[in-house]
């Protein structure tokens, strides 16, 4: 008969003292040896709360503004008393206040430098005592994937500093929502980022590795950070006292399919991207041409999808441009008809006639003639058509948005002028269908800017004004005498303070 040990009884009686001490020793070893070294973190007192009072003008009726809107965000102080925040926290602000942690006093601040392209701004505080007892933060490198970061700021839900942990889940390149068109590197994290976190630092090992600035509304726990590399670029950019922004290469390109490699005789060991177009005012004009294969930038090989390996990260080759300053030079290698070429290119900003990015002007110029309101066509006006503005805006706008280089052949044009509204009266009500049309000429006078509108209306064609529009063969005809006689009546009727905002008309 096999004798079975009564484990139940033994457990009931409990282990002896020697067994208990042995188990305790093993548990302690496993627990302490299994812990990863903790990320060093000191709660920063240089994280600042920012209060902004904003007023936004109406792009179609620029003399009208929205009611004052109050909002809040976050910021942080770097060496040299640089108070950094997001541009969108203070854009179009009429009044800005800042407050330190655990203090009731608010200090007056103004915008010293702002970049809408990078969504970054530096504020200047009028009181020198504001910076007393603050320990400035320092910028660090881009964090590694799957590493822990801490977001500090003043989000909704309380008045005190909030600190949340998150994982770096992705490093990618997306459009920055503030400008609506500019694409830069971002760090994605699942740290809780809410309204009010914008402008706050994201910290790792007591160094700022990014700035909280936007999230993805259609996803869960997806927040984005401006990387420290773009912040450093901005800080270097302002050293000359002027914000130049990020330079451009001025090319359109396509991924390189295998058949094109063979057709264009690219060596087997090489990879690159196919040049599809070169902007005539860009730095690569008369250097690169259509169907060239760009294979290297500053010595970094470009893969067929347009990516390079930079500091251990797989990023778009444009990251080299993003880290360069205006007028700096970069080296390019490309193949044309199977032959290798090399040249240095000086980076510049392309002077687009139609700037489709948001510029957040504090006010904008306009001209009213014959009860017709004319404004500059730019990003503010295009974004006025809603969230999906690039599909909702009128057809002529879309043509210029995608093909402005092809359509604009007039070197004297400063910008496009659009008929934004009609102050209706009996003599001009028929002009309503021409709203949102782009002016080409008035009385055969080419329209290159708002000042040209007023000049052209002084030169009627007999008894009439003749207005012609881009991509529209039907002219708008107005009675010249009535246009002049009814002007002051319409301004008074529609409560317009003046017929022309001369200060910003250029």
CATH number of 148-240: 2.40.10.10
CA distance 479 to 428: 8
CA distance 386 to 366: 22
Question: Residue 190 CA to chain centroid, in angstroms?
Answer: 21
Question: Residue 27 CA to chain centroid, in angstroms?
Answer: 52
- Cβ neighbors of 493 (< 8 A, separation 6 or more) are 423
DSSP H or E stretch at residue 25: helix 17-33
Query: Residues of the chain with pLDDT > 70: what percent?
Result: 90
pLDDT by residue (tens digit) across 109-144? 999 999 999 999 999 998 989 999 999 999 999 999
pLDDT of residue 220: 74
Q: How confident is the model at residue 325 (pLDDT cuts 50, 70, 90)?
A: very high
pLDDT by residue (tens digit) across 365-384? 999 999 999 999 998 899 88
3-state secondary structure (DSSP) of residue 390: helix
Please determine, for residue 298, whether its predicted confidence score (pLDDT) is greater than 70: yes
Q: How confident is the model at residue 239 (pLDDT cuts 50, 70, 90)?
A: very high
Q: How many CB atoms lie within 10 A of CB 499?
A: 16
CA distance 73 to 85: 8
Region of residue 119 (left: phi > 0; alpha: psi -120 to 50; beta: else): left
CA distance 208 to 70: 28
Please determine, for residue 193, whether its predicted confidence score (pLDDT) is greater than 80: yes
Higher pLDDT, 208 or 499: 208
pLDDT of residue 210: 97
Q: How confident is the model at residue 363 (pLDDT cuts 50, 70, 90)?
A: low
pLDDT of residue 355: 85
Please determine, for residue 60, whether its predicted confidence score (pLDDT) is greater than 70: yes
pLDDT by residue (tens digit) across 345-354? 999 998 888 8
Topology of domain 47-131 in CATH is Thrombin, subunit H (2.40.10)
Q: Which residues of 326-352 are buried (b: 16+ CB within 10 A; e: fewer)?
A: beeebebbbbeeeeeeeeebebbbeeb
- Domain residues of the chain, as ranges? 47-131, 148-240, 251-346, 366-504
CA distance 172 to 212: 15
pLDDT of residue 445: 96
Please determine, for residue 8, whether its predicted confidence score (pLDDT) is greater than 50: no
CATH number of 366-504: 3.20.190.20
CA distance 363 to 168: 39
- Cβ neighbors of 455 (< 8 A, separation 6 or more) are 445
pLDDT of residue 408: 75
Domain pair 47-131 / 366-504, same fold? no
Please determine, for residue 3, whether its predicted confidence score (pLDDT) is greater than 50: no
CATH number of 251-346: 2.30.42.10
Name 100's bridge partners: none
pLDDT of residue 506: 39
Q: How confident is the model at residue 85 (pLDDT cuts 50, 70, 90)?
A: very high
CB 365 within 8 A of CB 377: no
Please determine, for residue 30, whether its predicted confidence score (pLDDT) is greater than 80: no
- Cβ neighbors of 368 (< 8 A, separation 6 or more) are 374, 423, 487, 490, 491, 496, 499, 500
């Amino acid at each position: 008969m096999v004798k079975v040990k009564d484990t139940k009884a033994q457990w009931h009686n409990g282990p002896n003292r020697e067994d208990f001490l042995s188990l305790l020793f093993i548990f302690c070893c496993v627990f302490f040896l299994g812990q990863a070294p903790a990320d060093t973190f000191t709660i920063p007192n240089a994280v600042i709360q920012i209060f902004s009072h904003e007023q936004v003008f109406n792009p179609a009726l620029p003399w009208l503004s929205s009611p004052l809107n109050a909002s809040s965000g976050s910021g942080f102080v770097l060496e040299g008393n640089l108070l950094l925040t997001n541009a969108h926290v203070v854009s179009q602000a009429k009044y800005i206040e800042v407050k330190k942690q655990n203090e009731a006093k608010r200090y007056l601040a103004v915008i010293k430098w702002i970049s809408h392209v990078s969504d970054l701004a530096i504020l200047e505080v009028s009181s020198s005592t504001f910076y007393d007892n603050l320990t400035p933060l320092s910028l660090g490198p881009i964090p590694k994937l799957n590493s822990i970061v801490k977001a500090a700021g003043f989000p909704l839900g309380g008045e005190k500093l909030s600190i949340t942990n998150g994982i770096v889940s992705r490093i990618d390149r997306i459009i920055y929502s503030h400008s609506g068109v500019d694409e830069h590197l971002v760090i994605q994290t699942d740290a809780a980022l809410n309204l009010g976190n914008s402008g706050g630092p994201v910290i790792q090992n007591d160094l700022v590795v990014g700035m909280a600035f936007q999230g993805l509304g259609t996803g869960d726990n997806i927040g984005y950070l401006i990387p420290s590399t773009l912040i450093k670029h901005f800080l270097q950019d302002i050293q000359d006292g002027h914000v130049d922004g990020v330079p451009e290469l001025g090319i359109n390109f396509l991924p390189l399919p295998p058949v094109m490699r063979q057709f264009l005789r690219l060596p087997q060991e090489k990879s690159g991207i196919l040049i599809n177009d070169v902007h005539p005012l860009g730095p690569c004009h008369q250097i690169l041409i259509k169907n060239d294969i760009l294979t290297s930038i500053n010595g970094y090989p470009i893969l067929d999808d347009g990516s390079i390996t930079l500091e251990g990260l797989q990023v778009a080759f444009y990251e080299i441009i993003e880290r360069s300053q205006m007028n700096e030079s970069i080296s390019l290698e490309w193949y044309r008809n199977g032959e290798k070429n090399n040249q240095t290119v000086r980076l510049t900003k392309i002077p687009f006639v139609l700037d489709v990015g948001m510029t957040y002007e504090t006010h904008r110029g306009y001209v009213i003639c014959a009860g017709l309101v004319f404004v500059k066509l730019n990003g503010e006006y295009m974004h006025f058509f809603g969230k999906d503005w690039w599909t909702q805006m009128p057809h002529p706008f879309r043509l210029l948005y995608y093909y402005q280089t092809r359509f604009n052949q007039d070197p004297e044009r400063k910008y496009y002028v659009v008929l934004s509204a009609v102050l209706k009266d009996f003599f001009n009500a028929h002009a309503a269908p021409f709203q949102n049309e782009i002016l080409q000429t008035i009385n055969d006078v080419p329209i290159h800017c708002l000042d040209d509108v007023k000049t052209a209306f002084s030169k009627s064609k007999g008894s009439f004004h003749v207005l012609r529009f881009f991509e529209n063969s039907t002219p708008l005809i107005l009675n010249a005498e009535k246009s002049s006689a009814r002007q002051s009546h319409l301004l008074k009727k529609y409560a317009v303070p003046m017929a022309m905002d001369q200060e910003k008309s250029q």
